[in-house]
Structure 1
């Protein structure tokens, strides 16, 4: 994609669409290029005909094709804040944690403690670190997300066509996901499906919270007991839906929250386990199974449990 230099007030831009943005909707492209510009403003300049494709008026939902020339009018954008380089530890983990890679996708074993993407200000996430490590890569986009404290399998698309197909998989039932979680207490059941609906809300500190509510969205998680330990239970959790914090909230609903879950767990249980070395959420995205988005080959990718969690688990047996 060819693009002119930008400043706080942009000049007229003419953006030529390449393979990296083929199939992307016009409104999504503009939101990416015009960071800091309100969505309402973006839709207004499209509606008024200030944005043109190949010199003609266009719809916000128009899907772009290679060779399209998109005219973007002069518009004020927010000044980009300086972004610090990714931590050396994160870069090392990403370079050493590649589970699968070809010319279409990359699957990494995401380390705990890092968000999948950076927030405002100077923060840096996994995707920004990857782009920093691989400056020659023209397209690297997250396919899905994992919570900051969750480790394990994370898919990054290297082609827009792969991204589109994988998004379709995740919206339907095209990806089988299996997590390892250590629950507080002895869970005596061997297997159970939790299908409690989940509703997003905010607490007093404006943190994102999710709760079981009849007003929420349909959600479904299968829990299988793997090991019954002295004061904890190792389970495999398989979510059929992809709601925010789904496994964590469903585990808490069972009465056996995930160990070291500071948001949905039991404070007294967390304190006891933290004294024994459990410093972070014991939730790991262990396995993904899906058809390759380009050639259809069935992929089964497994991320080994991080050594710190494996050591703690061994001490429980």
Structure 2
């Protein structure tokens, strides 16, 4: 039998890497920094190595939402990526169709759009591309374009993007320091008590066996819980529903959806935390999506410091559903 030298040779094992954060990357969340530097590595794995402490910043453990600073040294553990996965990640941005979205405000520093429901803000987790990839394709001349924050795929409304690194850092600092005002319109099932105005409940993120992300309310002293504050105002009472103005003081994952559902008032059409039987009936009545809309955003302009107030009107399909419910109660 012929002895083929090297025929069974294994590929070299990946090694620990150390990356020094430069000025362009300063201010990013750690998870976003890793996504950029570990192309082809699934996000679920990235979050796992952060939680396990394998990723270190200046030799210390760090959370996913830790902001990296210029000069920080980030330790990346050995990670394997198939060429196919890396190529897929690299190709994501080039295969996305070019698309513009309704513009609420744009200047040389920032871009505010009215995101439609059903569109992810970025690719990943089974989504080939999102708003950011489509906008980059539509604007090949843009030297810089990054998401300032996120919206759930099924949530419509105001989405903010930065057109300069300095604007990104400034705006993200405002979000982190709770200096912005974010108000949503949510239609919940049931008659919300007008005197229930503050929801102060800790939330904990976890993964289902299939890797899907979920959030639940936990006790305030739970070590894994993160304090979450939501303010609620009744905008309109409808037969069987309440239209709420919901202002979040903390930006936790699925915060509004989980907080409202935990009070026994799930958002109409919510397929994760909602009333599934009720949702089937609502679908027949014409509500084909979750009724959650990022309606108003108040912030300071990243360059001038002037106050900016953005508004995005309810989408036609949500306004139509409200009108139908209002008419059904008329004699």
Pair 267,153 (structure 1): closer, same or farther in 2 beyond 3 Å:
same
Partners of 1:175 and 1:288 within 8 A in 2? yes
Task: Indicate yes or no: 2:139 matched with 1:139.
Answer: no
The structure 2 residue matched to 1:32, chosen from 22, 31, 36, is: 36
Pair 117,313 (structure 1): closer, same or farther in 2 beyond 3 Å:
same
After superposing on structure 2, the runs of 4+ consecutive aligned residues of structure 1 that deviate more than 4 Å are 22-25, 27-31, 37-40, 75-78
Superposition map of 1:169-208 within 5 A: 169-208=174-213
For 1:113 and 1:103, how far apart are their aligned partners in 2? 28
Which residue number in structure 1 is paired with residue 96 of structure 2? 86
Partner of 2:226, secondary structure, is coil
Partner of 2:169, secondary structure, is helix
Pair 61,125 (structure 1): closer, same or farther in 2 beyond 3 Å:
same
Partner of 1:197, secondary structure, is strand
- For structure 1, the residue ranges without an aligned partner over 5 or more in a row are 1-16, 48-59, 65-74
Partners of 1:191 and 1:225 within 8 A in 2? no
Task: Indicate yes or no: 2:220 matched with 1:220.
Answer: no
For 1:98 and 1:239, how far apart are their aligned partners in 2? 23
For 2:297 and 2:27, how far apart are their aligned partners in 1? 26
Task: Indicate yes or no: 2:159 matched with 1:154.
Answer: yes
Partners of 1:35 and 1:77 within 8 A in 2? no
Task: Indicate yes or no: 2:114 matched with 1:114.
Answer: no
Pair 22,243 (structure 1): closer, same or farther in 2 beyond 3 Å:
closer
- For structure 2, the residue ranges without an aligned partner over 5 or more in a row are 1-20, 60-67, 73-79, 327-331
Which residue number in structure 2 is paired with residue 55 of structure 1? none
Task: Indicate yes or no: 2:273 matched with 1:268.
Answer: no
- Using the size of structure 1 for normalisation, the TM-score is 0.77
Pair 262,162 (structure 1): closer, same or farther in 2 beyond 3 Å:
same
For 1:34 and 1:253, how far apart are their aligned partners in 2? 37
Aligned residues: 270
Q: Name whichever of 155-164 and 263-272 sits farther off.
A: 263-272
Pair 219,149 (structure 1): closer, same or farther in 2 beyond 3 Å:
same
For 1:235 and 1:121, how far apart are their aligned partners in 2? 32
Superposition map of 1:1-317 within 5 A: 21=24, 23=26, 32-33=36-37, 35-36=39-40, 62-63=70-71, 78=83, 79-81=86-88, 82-83=91-92, 85-87=95-97, 91-92=99-100, 94=101, 97-119=102-124, 123-214=128-219, 215=222, 216-317=225-326
Partners of 2:203 and 2:218 within 8 A in 1? yes
For 2:212 and 2:126, how far apart are their aligned partners in 1? 18
Partner of 2:123, secondary structure, is coil
- Using the size of structure 2 for normalisation, the TM-score is 0.74
> 1:34: Cα distance to partner?
5.2
Q: Name whichever of 128-137 and 203-212 sits farther off.
A: 203-212
